[in-house]
Amino acid sequence: MNEYDSNRIYDLTKKINYDSTTNVSEANCYVLNTCHIREKATDKVYHEVGRIKKTFRNKKKPIIIIAGCVAQAEGDVLLKKENYIDAVIGPQSYHQINELIKNLEIKKNKVSLTEFDVVEKFDTLNVEKNSDSKVSSFLTIQEGCDKFCKFCVVPYTRGPEFSRSITELVQEAKQLVNNGAREITLLGQNVNAYNFEGKKLSDLILEIAKISQLQRIRYTTSHPKDFTQDLMEAHKSCVKLMPLIHLPVQSGSNKILKNMNRKHTIEEYIQLIEKLQIFNSNIKLSSDFIIGYPGETEDDFEDTLNLMNKVKFINTFSFLFSSRPGTPSSHLKKIDEDLAKKRLIIFQNISKKIKTEYRQSLLNKIVPVLFENRTQKKNMYFGRDEHFNSVIVESNENLAGKIKNIKIIKVSQNTLFGKISSKIMQKEFAA
């Protein structure tokens, strides 16, 4: 979502004659768009500001704006602690960034904008065309979360759930496709909670799928509790909807899930996966895991490993528990840090083994790949298959924006290598 927000901030600032630059030292204004999910996010902000200060030691100071969730969470604290920062602007206020910059150009009064006016934000953004021209583009459809998992800062930095209208989203999706997008990922903190005037995520997917030049649709991030039957049916009926679902579970222990306030059990989670694979046998899963949550015992950790081995997630994102200020879990006693780190290593080794076995199973298989761009190496193109695996292919033909059937001839830890195949792929769905 941060990438989408950053792109839209750029779209807005072009109206006041700002353009992007890769030359750090020539910038007149810095907008540091931040995420607050992980520990030490605030420290990273101060580090980056320090780097900017060093760059401009003997030059005119640029305008420094901290945007995003760190700005929302820390607010005035950032301004007081680091005098070099001129303003903070929360994720629901960045539609005001042009006015903020113009004022800062005139006077250097420090400003904090952290209101939760998501309606006004999207009203503003709907007027501005989305200039993103990537083959694979992002589209924010929903923001905020009402789940209040005890470890998560999102409800406090992004606010309650808000869904954009289908009409607005289809219009923006068409803009992206006209710009060159062939794949759109629908974004939300709790994306499958999307609900606008009774229309659900499945309705939106089916509407966007009608855009003729759009070839692939993805969505992230899902919550198991909000995964409805109609969305499962979309995975059977909509050929443009990709069969990789990112479905965070966080732990394999029911006790830990209850303590996290996740509102689902492991049994319910597994039943959901089994139902999904009935609708579409090609579906694969990725997930998020928090290792070392307060109160996690060896038995709890063993339950997590058992879940890994049962589901065989093709990709996982695992982190040590990090206490976020203001969340209910921030007051809980942490488990021994060395023990938590040991468990994380064990978990990641198992995850790596499962991922490696899965990737090896693709050797000599033919997979459809949407190519996004040419790499730095001549005639080498980068793309992704239906399950979001990275694929590299050599070709004299410009493959960007095209789907080709690729035979996998080599597998590395993070990348598949292949060659173009003339074989026609047959898409199969379970009855």
Domains with residue ranges and CATH for the chain: 2-115 (3.40.50.12160), 119-358 (3.80.30.20), 366-420 (2.40.50.140)
- d(CA 406, CA 417) in angstroms, rounded, equals 9
Q: Pairing between strand 111-113 and 195-196?
A: unpaired
Is-contact 172 181, C-beta < 8 A? no
CA 248, 329, 5 angle in degrees (round to 5)?
55
Q: What is the pTM of this model?
A: 0.83
pLDDT tens by residue, 368-421: 999 999 998 889 999 999 999 999 999 999 999 999 999 999 999 889 999 999
Q: What span, in angstroms and rounded, lies between the C-alpha atoms of 418 and 408?
A: 4
- Backbone torsion region of residue 143, taken as left when φ is above 0, otherwise alpha when ψ lies between -120 and 50, otherwise beta: beta
Question: Would you state the pLDDT for residue 427?
Answer: 47
**Ranges in the chain, pLDDT < 70:** 1, 36-39, 116-121, 127, 423-431
User: Closest Cα partner for 64 from 26, 106, 31?
Assistant: 31
3-class secondary-structure state, position 192: helix
pLDDT, residue 156, reads 84
Cis preceding-peptide flag for 221 (omega within 30 of 0): yes
Q: Say which residues have a Cβ less than 8 Å from residue 33's Cβ, sequence separation at least 6.
A: 2, 5, 6, 9, 67, 68
Element spanning 255, H or E:
helix 254-260
pLDDT at 106: 86
